[in-house]
Chain A
Amino acid sequence: MTYIYAERVKSMENSAIRDLLKVAVQPNIISFAGGLPAPELFPLADIRESYDRVLGAGDPSVLQYGTTEGFLPLREEISAQMRTKGVKAEADNIFLTNGSQQGLDLIAKLLLNPGDEVLLQNPSYLGAIQTFRSYQANFRVIPSAGEGIDLIALESSIKEHRPKLIYLAPTYQNPTGTTLTIEERQTVARIASLYGVPVIEDDPYSDLRYDGPASPPIKSFAAEDAVIYLGTFSKTLAPGLRLGWIVADRTLIAKLSVAKQGTDLHTSTLLQRATHYYLTHFNTLEHIEKMRQTYKLRRDLMLKELQKSFSTQVKWTEPSGGMFIWLTLPESYDTLKLLPRVEAANVSYVPGAHFFAHEGIHSNMRLNFSNPTPLQIKQGIKLLAEILAVN
């Protein structure tokens, strides 16, 4: 039969994320495409023991329905972690989600009417662009200034366009790896409060810091409730668990809770219990430190290989944390069109065009350095340079 879909279905793209997840499972390919942590670093034994303990305690409530906001002791633990980052938060400011992607979806569901404007960095995280688009939002780009954003332009854009939301990933941003300065963070927090426009601060990478100073979240500077913070265990624990959280004021948490009830009732009880056990019984800091050391070496290696293999016409970012390097080729290059050729040589990347809310820029690519092994980085960058042959 012919199905008649809702209007919004037209704005759901056949997305690059899905293709990325597919590429990631193809064997033999050197993938710089995924946003994946290195699986050999997952704290598998610790997670395993956590499941063992939680299921072995003879308490059936670990497999029972739970409250929509999340398992209270886990909310307490996360709020404590947020406080060490300088964010004022109590357990009732924390809301558990099926990964931070669900956080984006729920917030969009609550706040975006068709035609509403969202202000975001250009480029921005693909998953966020697509979720906002599925709610039929329109985008306004925050012009950049150097590494960061142009704050004066931000303010005038807010005054002129009255956006519904500002979406920012201020720390080791996906896809560029860039980071906002403390002054920029303070100002963003201030502008948001002043004009009453909520900021979504998406922060999956801040624990993966390799050098440079730690940057407190924008939320830590927000005197009021203007910043909605999104966190995730996908990068520091394992992405396949699908567990993230939102930090927001209580009014919004109550609304989120209503929205999530209709969406999936609540996030898996067992997953929350096991994660809580893990966080309170193992040395999570040591684990993060181990990841940092490994990824730092990989980042350094990739930067070195890029230096070796590419001419001065090619530019790239030098991130001090996170998982990505953003490569800019001369304007005549179209990384979307080049991808099949590169993949034929068993290397892959994400074409930069996917990360722009508006069409038009084709000469960038996102390279992931956390997932490939050092040997793959060496071989892959060399191959990439050969195929692209930028002179």
Chain B
Amino acid sequence: MQLHLDRSLKTPLYLQIRNQIRQLILTNELPPGFRLPPERKLAASLGVNRTTIVNAYHELEADDLIRPHVGKGTIVTPPLCSEHSSVDGLAIDGNSELLRLPVQPMAWQNFYTSQSERMYNPVLASILDEIGEEDQISFALGSPAGEFYPLEKFRQISQEVMQPGNWQAFEYGPTIGHYPLRKYLADWLGHRGIQTQAQNIMILSGSQQGLDLLAKVFLEPGDFVVMEEPSFIGAIGVFKAAGARILTVPMDREGLRTDLLEQILSRHRPKFIYTLPTFQNPSGTKMSLVRRHELLKLAYLYHVPIMEDDPYSELYYENQPSPSLKSLDEHGHVIYLGTFSKMLFPGLRLGWCVAPSPVLEQLTLAKQHVDLHTSTTAQWIMTEFCHQGLLDEHLPLVRNQYRRQRDAMVSALTEFAPQGLSWTVPEGGYYLWCELPPGMKAATLLTKAAEKKVTFVPGNAFYVNSRGNDRIRLCFSRHSETTIREGILRLSEAILEMLNQPHSGGTASRPPFNETLV
């Protein structure tokens, strides 16, 4: 039994001992029946007072994890649940016979809703799952670079917020969000051309929650929704789960093709148009100003709301991007989603929605049933972070850095990419959108690439119908320039090998990531 005490911690030694032994018991490294060392002996070996060990054992005993036995010493107890796990033969009047029948395992599949059948979104799952795989170079997960997280400042601010007596930061709060944060965002968005007020902003547990709430409030099974194609995986998943029929509009270099949109709007009555106009995920496209105006005009004409998803607009590497649709909207048609996840870091799960009051009212009501409100503590810390100007301070830093990373990826591709591979060079955001050499399938390439320890998201994940198999998305925000270069080298090798053996790919065994993409 190996214990390590850290005398620099504020945690008392007896608690350190208790916690470590507890962990060992719970992970079964000390199995039931294991005899713990006698108190005096353990005290000597750890160089602590015997009382310390007595206290630690006492705590463990209180948790029912160990029990002293006369003559045998202190023994690890078996899990409690076995003691009353079965209650056979229990009688209710007149029903005792029935109750003795064997119990069938719960057949959950008979219980699920029709919505849950539509929820499956394997790509998102596998992207999240891959976090933590060490030697892999992942261009899949759309995450900011951890090395630039303002950890130390954030720590200091958390300490300031949690001043003794500031219980408010730990209490229930209003569903719509912490007022000072909403006020800050109203002003912050004001500097970006969006004229709004705190009362038109609600705080979300990440902007994904905004999509979920919008679906809940607006979508009946069978309703039409319009999206760009390709489009954000998370949005496709939510709308599909809601049972919506998705109408897709192709894009060109200026973004969503408004001429085609008009044809759709003249035939169908969609509940809303979902768009990610600035540095789109996955294509990196920036919608032109002309198109933005055309899109709004069509929305007014056909009376269709627009959901503008805007996680990337602050991450521009050339000129300031075009104004958001929300800032151009004169008739309350745009519902706007923002997030801290891509600008700062995603682990706090904080986003926001700007919407006309009646819509915000409905969204708030829906959110109340979903999670009451977003973490008060997280909102307080973020508010203070913003108030100290640290968000605005952080942005130029990451813009600079991500520009360099984008350039590193582009120049590595220029240097290593085999003939036939082409890619976009986005002016902002996180992603390069690549077209594979003719005939090559993204899913097959992924298998080959995984062997070489590099991953990406195959293009079909971003399409509603079975298209996009000739595309891949590469995220450049997460890794350093050196790692990006290495990753692109590996990817290029994988492509080259496939080009040299064109027929081997189709039947090769596929990693689990892939099968789910069918």
A interface residues (Cβ-Cβ under 8 A, vs B): 1-9, 12-15, 17-18, 21-22, 24-25, 34, 36, 39-40, 42, 44-45, 47-49, 51-52, 55-56, 58-68, 76, 79-80, 83-84, 86-88, 97-99, 101-102, 105, 109-113, 127, 130-131, 134, 151-152, 155, 164, 183, 186-187, 189-191, 193-194, 196, 198, 216, 220-221, 223-226, 238-243, 249, 251-252, 255, 257-259, 261-271, 280-283, 285
Contact = CB atoms under 8 A, between A and B. Distances in A.
B208 interface: yes
B205 A80 contact: no
B205 A98 contact: yes
Interface string B244-287: 00000000000000000000000000010000000000000000
Contacts of B348: 63, 268-270
Contact of A194 (B26, B103, B112): B103
Nearest to A49: B10
Nearest to B122: A258
Contacts of B23: 280
B345 A64 contact: yes
A145 to B, nearest CB: 12
A257 B86 CA distance: 29
Given A65-B131, A242-B373, 14 more contacts: A39-B171, A47-B170, A60-B146, A60-B147, A64-B347, A66-B128, A67-B128, A84-B63, A87-B81, A111-B116, A113-B114, A190-B87, A241-B375, A283-B15
* Closest 3 pairs between A and B when the two form their complex, measured CB to CB: A240-B376, A60-B146, A269-B347
Given A63-B347, A220-B81, A76 B27 contact: yes
A44 B151 contact: no
Residue from the set A42, A47, A225, A258 with the largest chain B CB neighbour count within 10 Å = A258
Nearest to B218: A6
14 contacts: A1-B303, A3-B305, A48-B162, A63-B347, A68-B125, A84-B65, A86-B80, A105-B369, A112-B113, A198-B111, A241-B376, A262-B241, A267-B205, A271-B375
Given A134-B366, A263-B212, A60 B333 contact: no
B394 to A, nearest CB: 12
A180 to B, nearest CB: 14
A299 B74 CA distance: 39
A15 B372 CA distance: 11
Contacts of B167: 39-40, 42, 44
Contacts of B107: 196
Given A1-B332, A239-B172, A224 B87 contact: no
B116 A259 contact: yes
Contacts of A252: 108
Contacts of B141: 65
B124 A51 contact: no
B305 A194 contact: no
Contacts of B85: 88, 220-221, 223
B71 interface: no
B332 A101 contact: no
A272 B135 CA distance: 25
A289 B362 CA distance: 41
Contacts of A111: 111-113, 116
B81 A44 contact: no
Contact of B99 (A76, A190, A242): A190
Interface in B82-100: 83-87, 90, 92-95, 98-99
A1 B141 CA distance: 37
Contacts of B99: 190-191, 194
A130 B369 contact: yes
B197 to A, nearest CB: 19
Contacts of B372: 17, 99, 101, 127, 242
A326 B364 CA distance: 29
Contact of B112 (A18, A48, A196, A255): A255
Interface string B214-228: 001111100100000
B92 A187 contact: yes
Contacts of A2: 303
Interface in B312-332: 331-332
A167 to B, nearest CB: 14
Contacts of B59: 283, 285
Interface stretch (B152-160, B401-409, B441-449): B152-160
Contacts of A258: 116, 119-121, 125
B459 interface: no
B501 interface: no
A87 B129 CA distance: 28
Contacts of A88: 79, 81, 85
A255 B108 CA distance: 10
A193 B98 CA distance: 12
B496 interface: no
Nearest to A238: B170
Contacts of A49: 10
B170 A190 contact: no
Contacts of B65: 84
Q: For the side of the interface on B, what is the size category?
A: 35 or more
Nearest to B370: A105
Given A66-B347, A87-B81, A24 B151 contact: no
A264 B349 contact: yes
B349 A36 contact: no
A300 B483 CA distance: 65
B358 A3 contact: yes
A181 B222 CA distance: 47
B505 interface: no
Contacts of B331: 1
B370 A102 contact: yes
B482 interface: no
A126 to B, nearest CB: 11
A281 to B, nearest CB: 5
A52 B155 contact: yes
Given A6-B220, A225-B106, A84 B116 contact: no
Contact of A6 (B106, B209, B216): B216
A64 B220 contact: no
B155 A56 contact: yes
Residue from the set A7, A36, A83, A198 with the largest chain B CB neighbour count within 10 Å = A83
B504 interface: no
A58 B151 contact: yes
B151 A63 contact: yes
B115 A109 contact: yes
A337 B320 CA distance: 57
B305 to A, nearest CB: 6
B106 A36 contact: no
A193 B52 CA distance: 46
B167 to A, nearest CB: 3
Residue from the set A56, A264, A269 with the largest chain B CB neighbour count within 10 Å = A264
A74 to B, nearest CB: 13
B175 A21 contact: yes
Contacts of A48: 158-159, 162
B371 interface: yes
B125 A155 contact: no
Given A1-B333, A66-B131, A152-B93, A270 B366 contact: no
A350 B107 CA distance: 39
B104 interface: yes
B378 interface: yes
Contacts of B155: 51-52, 55-56
Contacts of A280: 19, 23
A261 B271 contact: no
A243 B332 CA distance: 35
Nearest to B207: A264
